[in-house]
Structure 1
Amino acid sequence: MTMPFTRACGPLAGSCLAACLALAAPAAPAQNFIGVGAAYVPEYEGSDEYEFKPVPLVRYERGNFFISRVAGAPALGLRWQLGGPWSGGVFAGLQDGRDADDYDRLKGLDDIDWHGVGGAFLRWSQGPLGFSVAYRQALKSGYGGILALDADYRLYQRGRSTVTLGVGTQWASSDAMDTYFGVSQRESQRSRAGLRPYEASSGFKSATVAATWTYGFDNGISTIATLGARTLLGDARDSPVTERRGGAFGMVGLSYAF
């Protein structure tokens, strides 16, 4: 499970960037790397306002230990080869929160606290094609869990250039969906934007497609560029919290392999 670790993207980092950043790696997949990028993304899931955010990029593996991104959340964990193209493991990490007062539409709603997560993943990879499934459970009562399904395919690799296509979807439990997209009766009464009460149920939350291009130099530095699109699904799509149901996003960065 070799996926970049991003932290400073705010609440959206675990959603629309999860699929594209999973591909933002140097051409040599076994290498560890560290880097930084800049992403142009919505301010929060469902926002119609965009902003630039810094994106730290880190991948580290030593034996079974890794630091990476799993199921859209930064994590550290243990990974094992299960035979043939299969690998799997367990992980623990942190998921960032959301300060409602930072966004005009969300003022009056409850904040979402930073919280720990834990889970497990399974990956199949052979040649240019890979599939992964991972589940992360919030270690905070009422925050629920997320199931992430992702696929990636290396479309092109010649010389120093690699182009990879990724698609992914996320399923959210009722607690997770309601945490990010629900509006309680009490929150509705306090809402500055007059949001109606809304109870979000479990279901598929989002779908993402992205293409990532990397170019490696002799000194271990690689350039990374990602362009993608993402749409909300189900109760997330219909939530009064949601201003825009889908849109494009992008990221550019530099990494150093070691």
Structure 2
Amino acid sequence: MISRYILGLAAVTFLTPAIAVAQTAPAADTSAEALAQELGGDSITVGLGAGYLPDYEGSDDYRWAPVPGVIGSVSGINFQVLGNRANADLIPTRQGQDWDFQAGPIGVVNFMRSSRSSIDDPRVRALGELGTAIELGGFVGIGKTGVVTSPYDKLSVSVSYRHDVAGVHRSGIWQPAINYFTPLSTKAAVGLFGSAERIEDKYVRTYFDITPAQAAVSGLPAFRGRGGWKSWTVGAIGTYSLTGNLLKGFKIIGGGTYRKLINDVAASPTVSIAGSRNQWLGVIGLGYTF
């Protein structure tokens, strides 16, 4: 279902900055020097959260769903599996480097409207179920440590592309993104982020078009759209260590995003009539780093 797709996407945005902060550097306080000696080592974080999100992309009905995740760094290789999304940065991150070059594979399992039972609106349910898309691709990016508030904050930009290989929407998605995060102490960190998505024609026609036959059974008007910029998203995240510090122990993580659907996606009756172009999402979770 699309809720899992959005949740996985949000989980990446929410959880990655918190862990990246932990692996970058601590804020200056009495234990910062000792904590800094631990930077650059191997670590794994496992977590489980709850997300409040739309039934499908463009819905105005919301539900709760679980957010499992694993984030790790081994020999400088960073990887993560969050919800329905996985990626790995295959360029090793070395201790003490200011610039971080990033590149690697990315994969998303897209459940959008693959389960009618997860959709409350009867008009959208009447459009029928879709298959589960498997979107594979890659990303490149660059980050800089020590840019605004301290020697330990980090600003990064990236762009990714993925394409459906399961024959469901048979199209691609481009996603540029920018992230900024900073530790506030050895136990707390915050981050801000923004991204946008550009989609190809077949994506719109699979998920947002309505054929005359579908219009007859759903009561929504027929619609045919084109690809282009689909949405932009902004959000914030915060994390606080309940035991230990940002590099080890239990931590609580919470955040939220606002997404604006635009262009033909926003004009689709599944959004403009049955839903809303304003999409909100919140996540709260607990993680453990070892």
TM-score range, shorter chain: 0.7 to 0.9
Query: Is the contact made by 2:2 and 2:110 (CA closer than 8 Å) also made in structure 1?
Result: no
Quote the residue 1:132 is aligned against: 158
Distance 1:142 1:201, change over 3 A: farther
Distance 1:80 1:16, change over 3 A: closer
1:196-219 Cα offsets, whole Å, 9 max, x none, are 111121111111111100112316
Runs of 4+ in 1 over 4 A off after TM superposition: 14-18, 81-84
After TM superposition, the structure 1 = structure 2 runs for residues 33-52 of structure 1, keeping only pairs within 5 Å, are 33-52=45-64
Q: What's the % identity of the aligned pairs? A: 26
| 2:250 matches 1:235 | no
Quote the residue 1:173 is aligned against: 200
Query: Is the contact made by 2:5 and 2:109 (CA closer than 8 Å) also made in structure 1?
Result: no
Query: Is the contact made by 1:173 and 1:203 (CA closer than 8 Å) also made in structure 2?
Result: yes
Distance 1:185 1:79, change over 3 A: farther
For 1:188 and 1:132, the matched residues in 2 are separated by 39
| 2:104 matches 1:89 | yes
Quote the residue 1:109 is aligned against: 127
For 1:256 and 1:76, the matched residues in 2 are separated by 20
Query: Is the contact made by 2:103 and 2:141 (CA closer than 8 Å) also made in structure 1?
Result: yes
How many Å apart are 1:94 and its aligned residue?
Answer: 2.6
Runs (5+) with no aligned partner, structure 1: 1-6
Distance 1:9 1:107, change over 3 A: closer
Query: Is the contact made by 2:116 and 2:128 (CA closer than 8 Å) also made in structure 1?
Result: no
Quote the residue 2:230 is aligned against: 205
Whose helix fraction is larger, Structure 1's or Structure 2's?
Answer: 2
How many Å apart are 1:53 and its aligned residue?
Answer: 1.2
Whose strand fraction is larger, Structure 1's or Structure 2's?
Answer: 1
Higher Cα Rg, which structure = 2
Query: Is the contact made by 2:56 and 2:112 (CA closer than 8 Å) also made in structure 1?
Result: no
CA RMSD of aligned residues (A): 2.7
Distance 1:34 1:212, change over 3 A: same
Question: Normalized against structure 1, the TM-score is what?
Answer: 0.84
Runs (5+) with no aligned partner, structure 2: 24-39, 146-153
1:82-102 Cα offsets, whole Å, 9 max, x none, are 995322122345322423633
For 1:183 and 1:199, the matched residues in 2 are separated by 7
How many Å apart are 1:17 and its aligned residue?
Answer: 5.4
Question: Normalized against structure 2, the TM-score is what?
Answer: 0.76
Correspondence for 2:79 among 45, 61, 66: 66
Instruction: Give the SS at the match of 2:270.
Output: coil
Query: Is the contact made by 1:26 and 1:215 (CA closer than 8 Å) also made in structure 2?
Result: no
For 2:288 and 2:50, the matched residues in 1 are separated by 16
